[in-house]
Homo-oligomer: A and B are copies of this chain.
Amino acid sequence: PPAWDRAARAPPSPLQPPGLLVPCRSFSNNKIQVELDESSGVAMMKFKSPPVNSLSLEFLTEFSISLEKLENNRACRGVIITSAIPKIFSSGLDITEMCGKSVEHYAEFWRAVQEMWLRLYGSNMVTVAAVNGSSPAGGCLVALSCDYRIMAENPKFSIGLNEAQLGIVAPFWFKDTFVNVVGHRTAERSLQLGSLHPAPEAHKLGLVDELVPEEKLMEKAAAVMAQWLALPDHARQLTKTMMRKAVLDRLVAHREEDIKNFITFVSKESIQKSLRMYMEMLKKKK
């Protein structure tokens, strides 16, 4: 069962003395590096999938597994998510997974996107996004799903759900997550225009909570994390569940339907054409 369903049943999880911990200091797979500081209970997750931390099927699977491992590790109470790649947090869903593949592949891919979001948005851990680069589309979703967003104040970095720019539509649960952060009006305008907001504008809209100079980002993330971890876990988790359950439950109730919609949409020749054109453009940019 996902974390937000377990919260109500789970006993309070006081920090165990370090000696009793399952050893889990660091695990690094292909795409994401994870380090757990057992003394603070804080894990650092670093996206390191060049060139732009695309959310491929492999990346998403590794992301979900990493989150699950940490969720089940009682030594871990919070996660800071950031990027090991300069200038980019994550470029969002990997378009190659949506182009010229089989229906089965589309289904598997979309289920992995859903799974990642259900784990992250519903996590019992404190989640802080340290957004140290641009973060369009799915990358923005990752940030929006955390408890707190700090962004490097560089105006060259932008963030937003810009799907409409590509001729595609953000799914309803991307939208729900966005509305819960910035409100209905800002979401309506930003989603329709497919806006990518430079960091200062993103801050003004409430899309990110705080801007700091890039060199202070990790320090600030650690300080924010410490502030959130000062609260007793159990009450904080139940409160988080109370705020997010309606939106999480909505996807769970419509999960298969949402996969079918994605397949139908992405299988259209007009959409395939748009995506191919977009990939060509990206290649030329490089």
CA A167 to CA B14, docked complex, whole Å: 12
Does A163 reach chain B (CB closer than 8 Å)?
yes
Contact string against B for A residues 160-195, beta-carbon threshold 8 Å, 1 for contact and 0 otherwise: 000111111110100100011111110111011110
Majority DSSP secondary structure for residues of A touching B = helix
Identity of the chain B residue whose Cβ is nearest the Cβ of A265 in the assembled complex: B238
Contact B242 A169 (CB under 8 A): yes
Identity of the chain B residue whose Cβ is nearest the Cβ of A241 in the assembled complex: B169
Given contact pairs A181-B185, A185-B206, A242-B172, A228 touches B167 in the complex (Cβ within 8 A): no
Beyond the given pairs A183-B184, A192-B228, 9 more chain A to chain B contacts, judged by CB atoms under 8 angstroms and listed by A's residue number, are A166-B235, A167-B232, A168-B235, A169-B238, A170-B239, A181-B185, A185-B206, A191-B239, A193-B227
CA A167 to CA B194, docked complex, whole Å: 41
Does A148 reach chain B (CB closer than 8 Å)?
yes
User: CB within 8 Å of B: which of A234-262?
Assistant: 234-236, 238-240, 242-244
CA A236 to CA B193, docked complex, whole Å: 7
- Size class of A's contact patch? 35 or more
Identity of the chain B residue whose Cβ is nearest the Cβ of A238 in the assembled complex: B169
Q: Which residues of B contact A188 (CB under 8 A)?
A: 180, 240, 243-244
The smallest beta-carbon distance between A167 and chain B, in angstroms, is 4
Does A12 reach chain B (CB closer than 8 Å)?
yes
Which of B168, B193, B240, B274 contacts A192, CB < 8 Å? B240
